[in-house]
Amino acid sequence: MSAPTRQLFGTDGIRGEAGKYPLDAETVLRLGQAAADVFLALRAERGEGHHDWPSVVIGKDTRQSGDMLETAIAAGLNSRGIDVRLAGVIPTPAVAWLTRETGAAFGIVISASHNPFGDNGVKFFGPDGYKLDDALELAIERRLLAEKVDPPAEPLGAAQIGRTGILEDAQERYIEFVCAMSHDDRALFRGKKFALDSANGAAFETSEAILRKLGAEVVPFFQEPNGLNINRDCGCTHPEVIERLVRETGADAGISHDGDADRVLLCDETGSVLDGDELMAIGAIDLLERGELAGDTLVATVMSNAGLEAALQEHGGHLVRSKVGDRYVMEEMRKGGFNFGGEQSGHLIYRDLNTTGDGIVAAVQLLSVMVRTGKPLGELRKTLTKFPQAQRNLPVSSKPPVETLPEVRKTIETAESELKAAGAGRVLVRYSGTEALVRILVEGSDGDQIEGIADRIRDAFAAAIGA
């Protein structure tokens, strides 16, 4: 039996165009009520009362629509008697940490990560700082979409309505938390110059402060958010920008975030960006050599290059693959007791340090490898030899199962036979969980062959369901 399908929640919360369903003010207010009802029901199942329930932490990125959505969801929570503490503009991983650190009932982030400013989103963290599992998200969604919602068992009096206040010093607490991971070594990066692209996003203040506290000279860019410029021609979805900035500044390395700073890309001293696979290879092999990689195992998604597995095996390590999405990487890590994992996109999870992908935590840990070994990133990246890959992203009008598209299925089967005849390779096709896209990945030993195959599969999809 297949799992129930979620209509609103994707791979990373609910996303869409701000101001339109489901991210209009009325729906988001009801989302706050639905989340409160589900969590209060769980509390009741454990025999715990409503009174003295912990508050909820809310953080957001710099999008203009964030204020409206923050106010709406806070009102929904307040209407169920729940107090809210606003962390303000702050990275997503900071909310995960603050939720756990403050003993909050759960945490909420208002952000659409790397998406354009016109989009926004809502995602939740449980009291343990981890993203909610599919079942809990489905329960919230069903409550939200129900035609008739029963009122609370105990109607609230005026004195029981929740209140909203500020979570004092949220940024400062997170900055000190990240610095403490490096034993508060204020000389860690002394003599190093880093170019920093904050994507006009949630980390526009925190990442620079952290790097400076650890002794680095920082040349900051794209840290003047105006509500409309998040991710605009900057950030880790535009790697060419940090490459140019490193070359222009003569930096030892470049650091580039996405809008909510749960991702990071690093750029080496020559002005060449390292992708998530290269960063995972550096981080995993460093942990292996220091005896700190749990189970000698890295967790990556099905999208990661096969060369990553080969690099780990060469150093006595192993690779476990998950579905796409950092929450699924984390699920595999928790299931296997592993402590390091990530995605090609730059979601890197040091689970011993935080409970979700954390861009600045990953940057500090990886740049520490550079300092500890005395090798620049351009040298460290050579630990990974990639297999050729071809990727295509195609806008689609719908997302039917691939098995219901005969010509697409036939094209993929032919491609797989060709790759098998060539000795090695794979085809991976999946729909984006956050956008109206089909993502196509072809991997093999012959670059020209896989480019042609990727084009044929894209064309088959375009003919069947292209936007």
- Report which residue type is found at 177: F
Q: Which residues pair with 194 in a beta bridge?
A: 218, 253
Residue the block writes with tokens 């490459």: 243
Point out the catalytic residue in the list 113, 182, 345, 368: 113
Q: Burial, 25: exposed, middle or buried (Cβ in 10 Å; 0-12, 13-18, 19+)?
A: middle
Contact 328, 348 (CB under 8 A): no
Identify whether 111 is a catalytic site residue.
no
In sequence order, the 6+-apart residues with CB closer than 8 A to the CB of 418 are: 449, 453
Query: Which 3 state secondary structure label does DSSP give 214?
Result: coil
What Rg, from alpha-carbon coordinates, does the chain have?
23
Angle between helices 359-373 and 92-101 (to 10 degrees): 100
Query: Which 3 state secondary structure label does DSSP give 132?
Result: coil
Q: Which residues pair with 35 in a beta bridge?
A: none
**Tokens (6 digits) for 354:** 């935080």
Max CA distance (Å), the chain = 73
Q: Burial, 272: exposed, middle or buried (Cβ in 10 Å; 0-12, 13-18, 19+)?
A: middle
Residue positions annotated with a catalytic role = 113
